Structure 1
Amino acid sequence: MPTEVQPVKSLYVENSIPAFSREEPFSNLLMDLQTKGWSVQDDFFSTDFTQALMDEVENIHIAYMQQAGVGRKQDHQVVLDTRRDYIQWIDPDKPIKKDFLKMMEDLRVALNRRLFLGLFDYEAHFARYETGAFYEKHIDAFKGESNRILSTVLYLNEGWQEGEGGELVIYDENDPTIEIGRFYPKKGRLAVFLSECFYHEVVVANRTRHSIAGWFRINNTTSMTLDPDQ
């Protein structure tokens, strides 16, 4: 009996998918950051570009992801009472990842031109929150102690429904006990906020939740200390 041949999924070809569907994709984001320090933009990338990123993260086997922790380099440690997601850092080793990093580089240039932030580079990882995973309220950078300036989160989930948890909660810059926004991890939604100003958390997810978390950074390298990445 002949073996059934499964159809081969078409592969993403670099630069074959337009990244944006709007003529000025950064304008609303830049205005929000200038006026309030945070922004949430739906459908930031084109539908096809977002889908290509979704395909990429969904096809990562859990064995090739690492348990996320807190701290950087020698200070890094896994604290399951604080966060329970798995991550894989994004390197430009595949076309869709290369193009995503290029688009975020274009955004870095636009941010520096408009807001004079002196951003030096961008780092990002895929994140997977399995059922029951969460990330407690935290801040991405303490004033004067980090090179992370802007945090970004791009959501890569199809048909997220109310009651499935996994929301991003952002708290008031001046009073971190006050919630100013709660956002479902909807497909194509991008959140950006000042890393040292806004406490935030990820509510317990009731289904697998994917995203790309990233940070625009300044360069803190000095003659005495090398600025670490990741």
Structure 2
Amino acid sequence: MGLDELFMKLPRHLVSQIKEEADGRPIVNCTDCSNSDGLERKRRMYPDLSSFLCDSSEVDFLVDSANSSAPFVIVDKVTEDVGWCRRAREEAQCLRTAGRFKQASFGGGSSKCADVRTRSDDIVWIRREDLVALPACSQIVSLFEEIRASVDKSFLRLGTDLEVDKTEMQLSVYPKGTAGYSAHKDAGPVSGTDRFLTAILYLNEDWKPACGGCLRLYLDDCRLDVSPRLGKLVVFRSEQLEHSVMPVTCADRYAITCWFSVRRRAAG
């Protein structure tokens, strides 16, 4: 029996653990702009969202469909005032208390399943009609709309016939003491989705390293750990960048994620 065949017979969380332990790439902690291991110099880390969106060449690099290098961007703090991120967490906690959050699943089609050893978060999908009662989340949606407009402008600059088709928004919480999410991609045959771009905004004030829960990005030369601190935003290509959520130890970990799907622009 070959190794790939053996992996097919093992539970997904065990396969992920085996691969993680065998991974020889160093682990780099991305804590802030001043200690980013060259990411700021490479224009992969920005102090705020406007700095990124004004860098048209970097937006183009991120969304160019010909770019297969698994591009990503980290925004240290979306705006100077992250109070609405704090209030969005409060809104999420109210939804959770009301029983709106449900256990998340993974995979697509006939392979779709739920297993907290592989993915331990609870989620609620945010619909447009929900936003009337969620004013802070509405502010975050406005931020995602800025990203959407910037992506569409980039497609025009690149001379492609693509445009953003739809967005999906989800609030998630990884309860303390849970396993996180094994390594995966957000689009492709395994996920069963056609997502193009992923944007994750974190809602966790005073997050301590001891709490775990880092977003781990699997890059060519390292495994980059991003702390889920309040106001931090990570944007990457859904179908290209493998990532995981590390185990969460001593606090509930909240985030709001937006996925952007694309389509061919109508002629004329």
Amino acid at match of 1:44: V
Partner of 1:99: 139
Judging changes above 3 Å, is the alpha-carbon distance between structure 1 residues 28 and 108 closer, same or farther for their aligned structure 2 residues?
A: same
Cα deviation, residue 99, structure 1: 3.4
Q: Secondary structure at the match of 1:118?
A: strand
Cα deviation, residue 24, structure 1: 5.4
Judging changes above 3 Å, is the alpha-carbon distance between structure 1 residues 98 and 76 closer, same or farther for their aligned structure 2 residues?
A: farther
Q: Is the 8 A contact 1:29 1:41 kept in 2?
A: no
Aligned mate of 2:214, from 167, 191, 194: 167
Once residues 260 and 124 of structure 2 are traced to their aligned partners in structure 1, the CA distance between those partners, rounded to angstroms, is 17
Once residues 255 and 60 of structure 2 are traced to their aligned partners in structure 1, the CA distance between those partners, rounded to angstroms, is 21
Normalised by the length of structure 1, the TM-score is 0.74
Judging changes above 3 Å, is the alpha-carbon distance between structure 1 residues 43 and 29 closer, same or farther for their aligned structure 2 residues?
A: farther
Partner of 2:54: 27
Partner of 1:212: 256
Q: Give the root-mean-square deviation of aligned CA atoms.
A: 2.8
Q: Is the 8 A contact 1:91 1:98 kept in 2?
A: no
Q: How do 1:28-67 and structure 2 match up within 5 A? A: 28=55, 31=58, 34=61, 37-45=71-79, 46-62=81-97, 63-67=99-103
Cα deviation, residue 64, structure 1: 1.7
Q: How do 1:51-200 and structure 2 match up within 5 A? A: 51-62=86-97, 63-71=99-107, 76-92=112-128, 93=130, 94=133, 95-116=135-156, 117-133=162-178, 134-142=180-188, 146-172=193-219, 175=220, 179-200=222-243
Once residues 43 and 30 of structure 1 are traced to their aligned partners in structure 2, the CA distance between those partners, rounded to angstroms, is 21
Question: Structure 1, residues 102-147: CA drift from partner, whole Å, max 9, x if none?
Answer: 3312311111112455221211111100112210001111279642
Q: Secondary structure at the match of 1:211?
A: strand
- Number of equivalenced pairs: 196
Partner of 1:4: none
Q: Is the 8 A contact 1:157 1:209 kept in 2?
A: yes
Question: Structure 1, residues 28-56: CA drift from partner, whole Å, max 9, x if none?
Answer: 59726616610110111432222221221
Q: Secondary structure at the match of 2:168?
A: strand
Once residues 108 and 22 of structure 1 are traced to their aligned partners in structure 2, the CA distance between those partners, rounded to angstroms, is 13
Structure with more helix by fraction = 2
Choose 193-202 or 91-100, whichever is displaced more.
Answer: 91-100
Amino acid at match of 1:211: A
Amino acid at match of 2:218: Y
Choose 115-124 or 178-187, whichever is displaced more.
Answer: 115-124
Once residues 25 and 44 of structure 1 are traced to their aligned partners in structure 2, the CA distance between those partners, rounded to angstroms, is 10
Partner of 1:3: none
Gaps of 5+ in 1: 1-20, 221-230
Q: Secondary structure at the match of 1:69?
A: coil
Once residues 153 and 113 of structure 1 are traced to their aligned partners in structure 2, the CA distance between those partners, rounded to angstroms, is 21
Q: Secondary structure at the match of 2:143?
A: helix
Q: Is the 8 A contact 2:59 2:154 kept in 1?
A: no
Q: Is the 8 A contact 1:68 1:86 kept in 2?
A: yes
Q: Is the 8 A contact 1:147 1:219 kept in 2?
A: no
Q: Is the 8 A contact 1:33 1:39 kept in 2?
A: no
Choose 178-187 or 207-216, whichever is displaced more.
Answer: 178-187
Once residues 103 and 143 of structure 1 are traced to their aligned partners in structure 2, the CA distance between those partners, rounded to angstroms, is 29
Partner of 1:223: none
Normalised by the length of structure 2, the TM-score is 0.64
Once residues 137 and 112 of structure 1 are traced to their aligned partners in structure 2, the CA distance between those partners, rounded to angstroms, is 29
> Kindly, what percent of the aligned residue pairs are identical?
25
Question: Structure 1, residues 39-80: CA drift from partner, whole Å, max 9, x if none?
Answer: 110111432222221221122235221000013577642122
